[in-house]
Amino acid sequence: MIRFLIERLFQAAVVLIVVALLAFVMFRFAGDPVAQMVSLDTTAEDRAALREAMGLNNSLPVQFGQFVLRAVQGDFGLSYQMGQPVATLLAERLPASIELSLVAFGIALIVGIPMGVYSGLYPESWLSRAFLILSLAGISLPTFFIGIMLILIFGVELNLFPTFGRGETVDLGWWTTGLLTGSGWHSIILPACTLGLFQMTFIMRLVRAEILDVMRTDYIKFARARGIAKGRINYGHALKNTLVPVLTIAGLQLGSIIAFGIVTESVFQWPGIGLLFIQAISTVDIPVMSTYLLLVALIFVSINLIVDLLYLLVDPRLRVRSR
Amino acid sequence: MNPERSPNLIMRLLDSDAGYKFRSSPVTVVAGLVFVLMIGAALLAPVIAPFDPFDKGSIDLMNSLLPPAWNSGGDPAFLLGTDNQGRDLFSTILYGTRTSVFVGAVSVSLAVVAGLFLGLLAGYFGGLVDAIIMRIVDIQMTFPAIMVALLIDGVTRSFLSRDQHDELAVFVIILAMALSIWPQVARTVRASAMVEKSREYVMAAQVIGRGPWLIMARHILPNVMGPVLVIATINLGVAILGEATLSFLGLGIPAGEPSLGTLIRIGNDFIFSGERWMLIYPGLTLALLVLSVNLLGDWLRDVLDPKSR
Amino acid sequence: MPNIRLSSVFLASALALSPAASGAETLRFASQGDIGSMDPYVVEEVFTSGFLGNIYEGLVRRAPDLSIQPALAESWELLSPTHWRFHLRKDVTFHDGTPFNADDVIYSADRVRAGASDFKNRLPSDAKVVAVDDYTVDFITTEPNPILHYTWANWYIMNRDWAEANGVGDADKAASEESYATLHENGTGPFQLVSRAPGVKTTLSRYDGWWGEGSVPTNVTEVEYTPVPNAATRVAALLSGQLDVVFPVPVQDIARVEAAPSGKIEAGPEVRTMYLTMNQWRDTLPGSGLEGKNPLKDRRVREAMYRAIDLETIHARILRGRATPAALMVAPGVNGYSDSFKRYEYDPDRSKELLAEAGYPDGFTFTFQCSNNMYVNDEAICLAVSNMLAKVGIDAKANVQAKAQYLEAILSPNMDFGLAMLGTTPASLDSHIALYSLHMCPRADENSAVWAPDDLAKIVAGKSNFAGYCNPEIDRLANEILIETDEDKRNALINEAWTITTDDVAYIPLHQSWGAWGVREGVGVEVRADNIFDWRYVTVAE
């Protein structure tokens, strides 16, 4: 157990270093940060001086060494564009992304699980079929398209919801939250639905498949044979057995919601880390881009680690089935 | 489903059960029909399309922003209207579908080949090989497709001239999508390979001295093909959407060459101005294409039902 | 218990909201990007320096019609062609209450020329700045410059005491520590910073001690700025009433905003001229495959390209009439502009003849670098130009990229383009700067080659002339214009220079777009041709 833990921690560290290296290398080619930082009229001399001062003329290994050395100390440098420490920028934006992800995830669970349970228990009913096709249509439309359509219909035509931003936020000192104000909740609905739609579909299908699976198992058949009431079988046995794997796999998805909220955040101008990242790409703000990537890598590696450990604790056999 | 049935995939596909499930589901039949029609139209785009969107000299700005032919102000020459450059929307959608299907099919094929190979290696040999490959999978899963695309884009940019780079934009996306899909294939294959590895028949093959490659090819591969086919189909949709998203974010196919994503990105600029056909038709085409792929994927899953094995 | 705490937070936020809702007039506006820094010397970019112009002030400022007005200087006089005297306003205080005086001007003159300041060219490096008394400052230059103060409207005066007390050093873009001035300000302007979350939201409030109170129409007391890069989202937010002012509104959405009961459009021609730049100095035209040949060095080929572009149709279809076709590299309103210059007529047949004369009857191929997020409908214009050139046989392969990649391709040292589309705004609103940076030979001295790789650091004149256009006659005229103090003579020289560059087809000027501001009904704004949003002229109805 300890050996396994150490092994995984070591592997996680390797993963992070490789991600750092890749992030670093790829951003070398993403465009010229200097061109973004000066006006069109700046002379070639001033540009060259800036490039030199920023250390862009050092050899790649030297630059990478400096980057890692500082990163380990928690210093990710200053944003080229905003002149602020990158760590501060990310920390300021993270609450917005986490809140959006959690609400999206919540919506996905609240809507997805009942739909999945129903269509798993009554696979032949027309409503189940409708759910299935509807959910497919949901994942067949690109996220950005759904977002734009929601803005167009509910934001502009019907004027029911705000079309961008977080609304009023409350600063709790270490966390800014939009979930304590009416306008915050009002603003989060459309982006959360957009972001949650794919997860909802995913969860619904997962629950459905698990229920279908469980309903075929011997002990449910046995329970049926014993004449236990249908409701108790369905909700007492089938659902209970379904939820553990569903929540685990869905939990894995939480990381990807945070990481892949980029598109939703950019359509709704949601001030989270995804939007920060997209803006950083367009301005070649290398420190922001690499730190974001490291953060996402860290989130993923941690989630994977936790899930692996949980599998090990709960049921060693599950490790094989993990997807 | 009966686990004793022949593991051969083709046999299973031809199985009357599959045929029955296909015929008995009108939705699947329609999806299959739509899929075949769209693929056909995409492949035959140079023949069907009334205009060639790559022939810059034939594009006339005077024809720009015409509504679909049945609307007032529409021109019968341009069935679905024209875009802001004066390109025939119907033709560009045909060519765009072609690009999207091409990107999807090639990237999924690449991902499947890579995922099968690495997944089998990891699952069969385990140990260090497994650890290394699965850590690569972890790294890969960390990178959103957008990041992968940026990486590939950046690296290719560093050793290709600008013109070459532009011409290779499609392949850059293909590579990016393939890289973001293969880990899923590899994970699934690895899991199945680990299960199969401990089955008696594989052990028996090992006992009689068959080499690991032969065992993998003969015994394990056919058994993992079912789930892989399902993953491949679902990811065909994902890859097509991925191309669209990348192009929408401006990291994809150059604007001069139509792809559904680029068309939607351009159309999106016109949603308030009333020229919504530029958004709606490419969007509908994309949705129909991916929907039909996903419906077929669903049907495949039902038929192959990897969960019950 | 948790419930009570929760509701008290609700209450607190409701209370915080209420004054904004009743007494104060709030201006909520959005544009595509955020300001780079609160430090006014770090980024020279129209939006950032325009934004900061509401917080900081210069010695002079520009009125809505772009005429020069006194600001922190009440008046000025020219004691000799190289000796300027500025009389400062006496009743001015910075936002922290410190009175403003000559020492702040001297501090700002030093700082604006130091470190990585983006505004170094506001004042020659050898110019002397002397405080005659607390409210009189002299500027002594080595060369006469009759328009010295024309670019000073966005050279903002900073407070020495504040800067020194907070350890604000020279502008430094490669710094490893955050500068205090990045997130804080101490200006003299009508608005002061309340809070700022970069890239998310910046809020400002009215500075009660502003010297100019009552001299401008604004009744705005609070300002909320949100960067909204996505144009569709921006327009949607205006139409749904979440914002009061958005800029820019894409041309195709103008009609929609105008039709909405809650919105209107304020538009006017911009002072920025869009143009195509043709690579005339590379021996091999990039992307052409013509080893050792560059057709664009031939004036006839350049005219053929000019005549192949149907600007009227671009104007009507892509810009929907909201642009002014340009025959010159400067816009109406810039000193030295004259409407006596006419565009070469659109004439594809003549274009083909010229190509044949020049020895390219079947045309040729090259790389056409374009941006897709810098200018009004830049991508669509580029593709249209590319299609039009194809009709005379020229294959301009459009490479449309985002700003970062685009600039990397076309700026020094790469300059990897056959054709590229750019926009230019002369900061001084005078023709000289356009001649100086875009038309003078980009070379170290008369005997060196244009854009010689070893001389890149020495090239100052012609520094934005990436096309490598070089005509010694223009160099001579530009140098004369710089020091000529007689206005009539000076304008005659400018006219002569524009005649030569037009005959040479140095560039292909396209148009000035119209900046379109989406404004909520009940809000009044003054649209300026340089796209600067001056809140001093914003009114919000109750």
From the list A253, A250, A276, A254, the residue with the least C-alpha distance to A265 is A276
Question: What does the pLDDT look like over C421-480, one tens digit per residue?
Answer: 999 988 888 999 999 999 999 998 888 999 988 888 788 888 889 999 999 999 999 999
Residue A30, pLDDT above cutoff 60: no
Domain membership flag for residue C3: no
Question: Average pLDDT, whole number, for chain C?
Answer: 89
Q: Is-cis flag, bond preceding C348, omega within 30?
A: no
Residue C497 binned pLDDT confidence (cut-offs 50, 70, 90): very high
Is residue C345 domain-shared with residue C395, that is, in the same domain?
Answer: yes
Is residue C104 domain-shared with residue C27, that is, in the same domain?
Answer: no
Pairing of strands C60-62, C273-278: unpaired
Side chain identity at residue C386, one-letter code? S
Residues of C in contact with B256 (CB under 8 A): 383, 386, 398, 400
CA distance C463 to C522: 45
Residue C225, pLDDT above cutoff 80: yes
Q: Is B21 exposed, middle or buried (0-12, 13-18, 19+ CB in 10 A)?
A: middle
CB pairs B-C closer than 8 Å: 83
Question: Average pLDDT, whole number, for chain A?
Answer: 79
Is residue C137 domain-shared with residue C195, that is, in the same domain?
Answer: no
Q: Identify the CATH number of the domain in which residue C88 sits.
A: 3.90.76.10
What value, to the nearest 5°, has the Cα angle with vertex B268 and ends B68 and B249? Answer: 140
C318-356: b or e for each residue (b if 16 or more CB lie within 10 Å)? bbbebbeebbbbbbeebbbbeeebebbebbbebbbbbbe
Query: Which pLDDT value is given to residue B105?
Result: 93
Q: What is the pLDDT averaged over residues C346-366?
A: 95
Residues of C in contact with B59 (CB under 8 A): 387, 390
Q: Could you give the number of structural domains in chain C?
A: 3
- Nearest chain C alpha carbon to B63: C317
From the list C337, C162, C321, C265, the residue with the least C-alpha distance to C519 is C265
Which chains have 3+ CB pairs within 8 A of A?
A: B, C
Which of residues C130, C164, C198 is at a domain's end?
A: C164
Q: What is the pLDDT averaged over residues C480-486?
A: 89
Residue C496, pLDDT above cutoff 50: yes
| Residue-number span of the structural domain to which C23 is assigned | 8-53+175-269+515-540
Sorted by where each starts, the structural domains of chain A and their CATH numbers stand as 2-72 (no CATH), 92-322 (1.10.3720.10)
Which chains have 3+ CB pairs within 8 A of B?
A: A, C
CA distance C249 to C231: 7
Question: Average pLDDT, whole number, for chain B?
Answer: 81
Query: Which pLDDT value is given to residue C2?
Result: 36
Helix (H) or strand (E) holding A262: helix A262-267
Is residue C221 domain-shared with residue C313, that is, in the same domain?
Answer: no
Sorted by where each starts, the structural domains of chain B and their CATH numbers stand as 81-308 (1.10.3720.10)
Residue A45, pLDDT above cutoff 90: no
Is residue C213 domain-shared with residue C100, that is, in the same domain?
Answer: no
From the list B51, B43, B42, B123, the residue with the least C-alpha distance to B81 is B51
Domain membership flag for residue C395: yes
Q: Do B264 and A145 touch (CB under 8 A)?
A: yes
What does the block give as tokens for C291?
């080893």
Question: What does the pLDDT look like over B244-266, one tens digit per residue?
Answer: 888 877 667 776 677 888 888 88
Q: How far is CA A206 from the centre of its chain?
A: 19
Question: What does the pLDDT look like over C313-348, one tens digit per residue?
Answer: 999 999 989 999 999 999 998 999 999 999 999 999
Side chain identity at residue C146, one-letter code? P
Residues of B in contact with A260 (CB under 8 A): 144
Q: Which of C208-217, C224-233, C308-317, C522-531 has the lowest mean pLDDT?
A: C224-233
**Which residues of chain B have a pLDDT value below 50?**
1-7, 306-309
Query: Which pLDDT value is given to residue C19?
Result: 38
Q: Which of B239-248, C129-138, C293-302 has the lowest mean pLDDT?
A: B239-248
DSSP secondary structure code for residue A174 in this structure? S
Pairing of strands A176-177, A170-171: antiparallel
DSSP secondary structure code for residue C449 in this structure? P
Is residue C334 domain-shared with residue C206, that is, in the same domain?
Answer: no
Residues of B in contact with C255 (CB under 8 A): 273-274
Is residue C156 domain-shared with residue C217, that is, in the same domain?
Answer: no
Residues of C in contact with B85 (CB under 8 A): 380, 383-384, 387
Q: Is B70 exposed, middle or buried (0-12, 13-18, 19+ CB in 10 A)?
A: exposed
Residue C303 binned pLDDT confidence (cut-offs 50, 70, 90): very high
Q: What is the pLDDT averaged over residues A283-305?
A: 80
Give the minimum alpha-carbon distance from B57 to chain A in angstroms, rounded to a whole number. 32
DSSP secondary structure code for residue C444 in this structure? S
Residue A22, pLDDT above cutoff 90: no
Query: Which pLDDT value is given to residue C12?
Result: 40
Q: Identify the CATH number of the domain in which residue C469 sits.
A: 3.10.105.10
Domain membership flag for residue C170: no
Q: Identify the CATH number of the domain in which residue C200 sits.
A: 3.40.190.10
CA distances from A64 to A61, C173, C210 (A): 5, 20, 49
| Chosen from A58, A81, A292 to mutate, greatest number of chain C CBs within 10 A | A81
- Nearest chain B alpha carbon to C258: B273
Is residue C509 domain-shared with residue C520, that is, in the same domain?
Answer: no
Domain membership flag for residue C1: no
Is residue C407 domain-shared with residue C490, that is, in the same domain?
Answer: yes
- Nearest chain B alpha carbon to A15: B139
Q: What is the pLDDT averaged over residues C277-296?
A: 91
> Looking at the partner chain, which of C13, C236, C457 has a beta carbon nearest the beta carbon of A170?
C13
Is residue C282 domain-shared with residue C377, that is, in the same domain?
Answer: yes
pTM of structure: 0.82
Is residue C430 domain-shared with residue C522, that is, in the same domain?
Answer: no
Give the minimum alpha-carbon distance from C409 to chain B in angstroms, rounded to a whole number. 9
Is residue C368 domain-shared with residue C486, that is, in the same domain?
Answer: yes
